[in-house]
């Protein structure tokens, strides 16, 4: 028996019907066709599905879609303003902070949430901010360098 | 040599924008009209006869469109060592016997994943469990259960490498050591699990979208198994979420989706769950290593003998290659005048062991570098000094095996020695361990039995000067799309943004063996360079006709400027030359072809990269826990084409290789992997990742494009050995079996205390 | 002087190298030839991996030295 789910994703309101057991990541990917958010495990341990829910970094596989009823969600698709990439996205490009790219959406959402909450984190705080995200390709240090560059003010926000 | 315009520059990867915006579409994301979802039923037994499979209830479930078993296949066996039929031993969908927990027995296609999952529970399989064997040292006994009929002692393959006279040489040694080691398994943990969408149409043609390291291998193996013509199968590789050696063999997601699709003439998608990924895909080969090393008292190594027994798992897969390479790289990177290796790959009723980044060399480097440090200590010689004394040099021949052209090992040793000196006196329970390696840039072997060149490329120049590059090379995250585009742009004399790469689609690209053995930069790079040179030659023909300079002048193209080498101010824009050249060819786009297959390059590889790594650890003697503080690597990979790419490969390799030494493991009980989830499989996360420093050494490899050779796999070799040596330096305990866990360190410390008393 | 494999005619430079080829190839036809000379394939392998030293290969190479040598 499907239930109604109302939520805002990347500034756009959606009104859909989902089964009660549908996870938020499934609602985003399968119902709203926002496939930028990935899924890498069944134990809420890898972080590939990280999104921002009401300003906080959340693993979207760890909550039911209906639990997000009425929430404001930002996914990877919502970071750029039009064609202008966010400072973190630009920094990732410059620092090669991605290789296969499968963890990248989760990493960008985790780091975006981190800087939203704490605009001047220390290196240790940056490491803690992405401790829930596994990357098998980069060894994390290029991601930390990219975030550090943004913290230092090397990138401007799009207007 | 003139400065390069493209290669060596720090650039954005060509697939960057789509990856940082979430717009890259992986196989994982692919949805097609009328697509069905598939799931695979797997054996719960490590060894059993299949007596009966009853699929009737499953077929009747609403929403289920097809259920298939081994009876729906041609009953063929496949394996990647196609030239040796006895090594093609894997049916994928088992017909009579299952040989490991996870061996596929049936597959379902349904309207959604939940229905497919439900249908699996409705399939009744009657098994007759058979005695099983899990440890290769047990499986190699006369009375052990036979995993495959007719294979004596379960010895799947044996390999022997020998030169000189090891027995005589040991008699002349001043000091001999014999040591035993155990190297563990390791899971690839690609972020994107194995997945495939297969669409078989009413015209009898099949299209496969899959996360793969070799679209050509999948095409050929799929043809072998389905009976379709190779040319009637098109394999497309979308952006792929990691490979690391797990994705260039035909897997259950691809094959089961194909069989289902052929039954239904509808697209079928199968995505392996993370648990299936851990239990039912291939993994790093665990090895029992027995090493004997002999030296003179001044540290000259005279003889080395290695005996290795590897846990093969249920099928051959790429195990034969890992077996050979571990034996070959056990002789690296030192000059042994006498050497003997005997390797045995033994079938067991466990998940198949195959290729994983490093391919037997992380194991051989861990054991070899550990033993060498022990030998150095016995002789009272500095660990860097003993490596320097015996290290390979340029133009060295490994007797009967390989010819090493460029080799920067000694410069790497110098740099690491400097680094260790600079660190000075360390706090208590801190230690720095050193480890050296050498690795191949792709293999010369053709056990796949392909008639094609190992790498090939086609370059097409269009009227607006934009270049299309077609190649079979597979970018699995290592950045080959970018590196090859850079090589193409450099050779042709244009900018990176002028190149558009189309890769790994067997329908439009020439075949390439794929991304394994660290071969793409050297082998595919050579093919791309040749194709670009072909186009350049055609353009310069026209330029020469148009400009008609004195015959003594040479032409070149650099940064879109076609000019005389000696008079660079005399030239014409590349764009104008292109327009004219196309007109001159009756309106045909300029096309160039290139290929590369190593010929007469020894038994292993056309080129080798070398490096030395120093790992610094801090051990807590109360708990045995230790922190990886810093890993500094001095390495050489010939000319650096893509510096951002190489740094990424190095840091990523440290995470993976460090994990191999530090924490990654797949403990098993009666053939069942006990930690098949990311929650339980420990790997290095951001908080455990050490600081990484890179010291580049300049070398030039004549065999490689612009002098380049491999980087991605070699760097996975040294870290486990460096960690082992560092722990010993820190607290004086030697752990000979991987991973080096806090429990093992603590136990060893306690034993050391007991011995003191 | 060279040594020709009696099964597949591969040419080796020494009897020991030929033994390595025959044992390593391990397919039925090579094993059958080895068996016909009175060896048990699994015993040769066992000799080889049980200890350091090359007894398994040496035993076979002695037979190959006599039977497969070809004077050039």
Q: How sure is the predictor about A159, in pLDDT bands with cuts at 50, 70 and 90?
A: low
Nearest beta carbon to residue A40 from set B23, B274, B651: B274
CB contact under 8 A, C26 and B340: no
Contacts of A42 in chain B (CB under 8 A): 273-275, 677
**Residue to test with chain B: of C44, C54, C56, most B Cβ within 10 A:** C54
Q: How sure is the predictor about C20, in pLDDT bands with cuts at 50, 70 and 90?
A: confident
Structural domains of chain B sorted by starting position, each given as residue range(s) with its CATH number in brackets: 16-23+454-596 (3.30.365.10), 31-130+191-242+247-280 (3.90.1170.50), 283-445+602-756 (3.30.365.10)
Contacts of C29 in chain B (CB under 8 A): none
The shortest C-alpha distance from C46 to chain B (Å) reads 9
* C-alpha–C-alpha distance, residues B296 and B340, integer Å: 18
pLDDT for the residue numbered B21: 98
**Residue to test with chain A: of B9, B20, B26, most A Cβ within 10 A:** B20
Whether residue B394 has pLDDT greater than 80: yes
Question: pLDDT tens-digit profile of B611-634?
Answer: 999 999 999 999 999 999 999 999
* C-alpha–C-alpha distance, residues A149 and A142, integer Å: 11
Contacts of A79 in chain B (CB under 8 A): 21
The shortest C-alpha distance from A39 to chain B (Å) reads 8
**Other beta carbons within 10 Å of B288:** 20
Contacts of B112 in chain A (CB under 8 A): none
Nearest beta carbon to residue B477 from set A94, A100, A130: A100
Average pLDDT rounded to a whole number, residues B475-496: 98
CB contact under 8 A, B152 and C16: no
Contacts of C28 in chain B (CB under 8 A): 86, 150
pLDDT above 90 coverage of chain B, percent: 98
What's the whole-number average pLDDT of chain B?
97
Per residue, the 3-state secondary structure of B515-543, as one string, reads: CCCCCHHHHHHHHHHHHHHHHHHHHHHHH
Pair of tokens at residue B19: 């990856």
CB contact under 8 A, C41 and B152: yes
* C-alpha–C-alpha distance, residues A123 and A129, integer Å: 10
Whether residue C39 has pLDDT greater than 60: yes
pTM of the model: 0.96
The residue of chain B with its CA nearest to that of A143 is B686
**Residue to test with chain B: of A102, A109, A148, A155, most B Cβ within 10 A:** A102
pLDDT above 70 coverage of chain B, percent: 100
pLDDT for the residue numbered B373: 98
Nearest beta carbon to residue A134 from set B193, B647, B685: B685
CB contact under 8 A, B479 and A77: no
Question: pLDDT tens-digit profile of B275-316?
Answer: 999 999 999 999 999 999 999 999 999 999 999 999 999 999
**Residue to test with chain A: of B19, B271, B497, most A Cβ within 10 A:** B19
pLDDT for the residue numbered B181: 97
* C-alpha–C-alpha distance, residues B339 and B508, integer Å: 46
pLDDT for the residue numbered C21: 86
Question: pLDDT tens-digit profile of B311-355?
Answer: 999 999 999 999 999 999 999 999 999 999 999 999 999 999 999
Cα-based torsion angle of the residue sequence B584, B585, B587, B593 in order, rounded to the nearest 10 degrees: -140
Q: How sure is the predictor about B88, in pLDDT bands with cuts at 50, 70 and 90?
A: very high
CB contact under 8 A, B140 and C48: no
CB contact under 8 A, A137 and B648: yes
Question: In C1-72, where do the E strands start and end?
Answer: 2-4, 11-12, 69-70
H or E stretch covering B377: helix B361-379
Average pLDDT rounded to a whole number, residues B31-43: 98
Structural domains of chain A sorted by starting position, each given as residue range(s) with its CATH number in brackets: 3-78 (3.10.20.30), 87-151 (1.10.150.120)
3-state class percentages of chain C: helix first, strand second, coil last, to nearest 5: 60, 10, 30
Which SS3 state, helix, strand or coil, does residue B253 take?
A: helix
Structural Rg of chain A based on CA atoms:
15
**ipTM for the whole complex:** 0.98
Question: Between B and C, how many residue pairs show a Cβ–Cβ distance under 8 A?
Answer: 48
CB contact under 8 A, C52 and B290: yes
The residue of chain B with its CA nearest to that of C12 is B400
Whether residue B20 has pLDDT greater than 60: yes
pLDDT for the residue numbered B1: 41
Whether residue B525 has pLDDT greater than 50: yes
Question: pLDDT tens-digit profile of B222-268?
Answer: 999 999 999 999 999 999 999 999 999 999 999 999 999 999 999 99
* C-alpha–C-alpha distance, residues B292 and B297, integer Å: 16
Question: pLDDT tens-digit profile of A75-125?
Answer: 999 999 999 999 999 999 999 999 999 999 999 999 999 999 999 999 999
CB contact under 8 A, C49 and B342: yes
Buried b (16+ CB within 10 A) or exposed e, B82-112: bebebbbbbbbbbeebbbbbbbbbbbbbbee
CB contact under 8 A, B651 and A141: yes
Whole-angstrom CA distances from B251 to B97, B246, B722 are 18, 9, 34
Contacts of C59 in chain B (CB under 8 A): none
């Amino acid at each position: 028996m499907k239930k109604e789910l109302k939520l805002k994703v990347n500034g756009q309101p959606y009104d859909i019907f989902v089964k009660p057991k549908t996870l938020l990541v499934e609602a985003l990917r399968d119902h709203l066709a926002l496939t930028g958010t990935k899924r890498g495990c069944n134990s809420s341990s890898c972080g590939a599905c990280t999104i921002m829910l009401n300003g906080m970094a959340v693993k979207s596989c760890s909550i039911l879609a209906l639990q997000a009823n009425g929430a404001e969600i930002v996914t990877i698709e919502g970071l750029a303003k039009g064609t202008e990439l966010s400072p973190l996205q630009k920094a990732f490009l410059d620092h090669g902070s991605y290789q296969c790219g499968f963890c990248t959406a989760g990493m960008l959402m985790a780091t975006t949430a981190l800087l939203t909450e704490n605009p001047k984190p220390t290196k240790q705080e940056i490491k803690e901010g992405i401790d829930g995200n596994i990357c098998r390709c980069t060894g994390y240090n290029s991601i930390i360098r990219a975030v550090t560059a943004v913290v230092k003010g090397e990138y401007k926000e799009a207007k | 040599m003139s400065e390069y315009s493209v290669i060596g520059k720090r650039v954005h990867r060509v697939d960057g924008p789509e990856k940082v915006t979430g717009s890259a579409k992986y196989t994982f994301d692919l949805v097609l009209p009328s697509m069905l979802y598939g799931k695979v039923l797997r054996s719960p037994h490590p060894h059993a006869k299949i007596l009966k499979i009853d699929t009737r209830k499953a077929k009747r479930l609403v929403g289920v469109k097809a259920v298939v078993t081994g009876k729906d296949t041609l009953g063929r066996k496949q394996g990647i060592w196609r030239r040796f039929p006895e090594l093609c031993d894997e049916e994928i969908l088992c017909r009579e016997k299952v040989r490991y927990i996870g061996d596929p027995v049936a597959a379902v296609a349904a309207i959604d994943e939940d229905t497919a999952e439900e249908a699996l529970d409705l399939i009744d399989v009657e098994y007759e469990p058979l005695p099983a064997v899990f440890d290769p040292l047990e499986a190699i006994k006369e009375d052990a259960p036979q995993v495959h009929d007719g294979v004596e002692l379960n010895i799947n393959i044996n390999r022997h490498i020998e030169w000189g006279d090891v027995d005589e040489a040991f008699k002349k040694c001043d000091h001999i050591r014999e040591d035993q080691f155990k190297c563990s398994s390791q899971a690839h943990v690609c972020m994107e699990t194995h997945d495939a969408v297969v669409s078989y149409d009413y015209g009898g043609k099949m299209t496969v979208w899959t996360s793969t390291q070799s679209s050509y291998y999948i095409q050929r193996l799929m043809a072998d198994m389905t009976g379709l013509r190779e040319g009637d199968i098109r394999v497309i590789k979308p952006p792929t979420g990691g490979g690391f050696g797990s994705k260039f063999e035909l897997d259950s997601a691809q094959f089961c989706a194909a069989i289902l699709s052929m039954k239904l003439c509808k697209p079928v998608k199968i995505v392996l769950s993370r648990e299936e990924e851990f239990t039912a895909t291939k993994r790093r080969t665990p090895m029992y290593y027995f090493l004997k090393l002999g030296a003179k008292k001044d540290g000259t190594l005279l003889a080395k003998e290695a005996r290795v027994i590897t846990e093969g798992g249920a099928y051959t897969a790429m195990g034969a290659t890992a077996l050979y390479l571990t034996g070959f790289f056990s002789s690296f990177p030192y000059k042994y005048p006498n050497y003997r290796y005997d390797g045995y790959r033994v079938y067991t009723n466990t998940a198949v062991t195959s290729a994983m980044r490093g391919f037997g060399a992380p194991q051989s480097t861990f054991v070899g570098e550990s033993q060498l440090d022990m030998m150095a200590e016995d002789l009272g010689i500095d660990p860097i000094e003993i490596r320097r004394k015996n290290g390979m040099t340029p133009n060295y021949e490994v007797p009967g095996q390989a010819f090493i052209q460029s080799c920067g090992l000694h410069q790497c040793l110098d740099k690491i020695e400097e680094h260790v000196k600079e660190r000075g006196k360390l706090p208590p329970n801190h230690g720095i361990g050193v480890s050296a390696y050498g690795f191949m840039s792709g293999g010369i072997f053709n056990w796949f039995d392909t008639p094609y060149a190992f790498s090939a490329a086609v370059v097409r120049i269009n009227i607006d000067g934009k270049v299309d590059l077609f190649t079979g090379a597979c970018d699995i995250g290592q950045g080959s799309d970018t590196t090859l585009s850079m090589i193409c742009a450099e050779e042709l004399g244009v900018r990176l943004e002028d190149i558009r790469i189309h890769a790994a689609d067997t329908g439009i690209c020439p075949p390439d063996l794929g991304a394994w053995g660290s071969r793409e930069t050297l082998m595919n790079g050579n093919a791309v360079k040749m194709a670009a040179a072909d186009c350049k030659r055609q353009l310069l023909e026209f330029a020469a006709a148009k400009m008609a300079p004195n015959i003594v002048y040479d032409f070149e193209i650099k940064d879109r400027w076609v000019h005389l080498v000696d008079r660079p101010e005399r030239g014409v824009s590349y764009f104008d030359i292109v327009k004219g050249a196309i007109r001159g060819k009756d309106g045909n786009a300029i096309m160039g072809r290139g290929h590369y297959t190593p010929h007469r390059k020894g038994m292993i590889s056309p080129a080798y990269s070398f490096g030395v790594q120093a790992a610094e650890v801090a051990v807590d003697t109360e708990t045995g826990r230790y922190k990886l503080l810093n890993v500094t690597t001095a390495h050489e990979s010939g000319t650096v084409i893509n510096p951002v790419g190489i740094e990424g490969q190095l840091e990523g390799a440290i995470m993976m290789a460090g994990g191999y030494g530090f924490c990654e493991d797949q403990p098993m009980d009666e053939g069942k992997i006990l930690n098949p989830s990311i929650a339980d499989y420990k790997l290095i996360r951001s908080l455990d990742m050490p600081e990484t420093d890179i010291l580049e050494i300049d070398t030039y490899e004549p065999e490689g494009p612009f002098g380049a050779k491999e980087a991605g796999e070699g760097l996975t070799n040294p870290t486990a050995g460096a960690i082992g040596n560092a722990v010993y330096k820190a607290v004086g305990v030697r752990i000979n079996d991987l991973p080096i866990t806090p429990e093992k360190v603590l136990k060893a410390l306690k034993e050391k205390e007991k011995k003191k008393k | 002087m060279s040594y020709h494999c009696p099964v597949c005619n591969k040419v080796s430079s020494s009897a020991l190298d030929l033994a390595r080829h025959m044992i390593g190839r391990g397919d039925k036809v090579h094993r059958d030839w080895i068996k016909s000379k009175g060896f048990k394939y699994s015993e040769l392998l066992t000799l080889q991996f049980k200890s350091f030293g090359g007894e398994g290969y040496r035993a076979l190479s002695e037979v190959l030295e006599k039977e497969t040598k070809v004077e050039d």
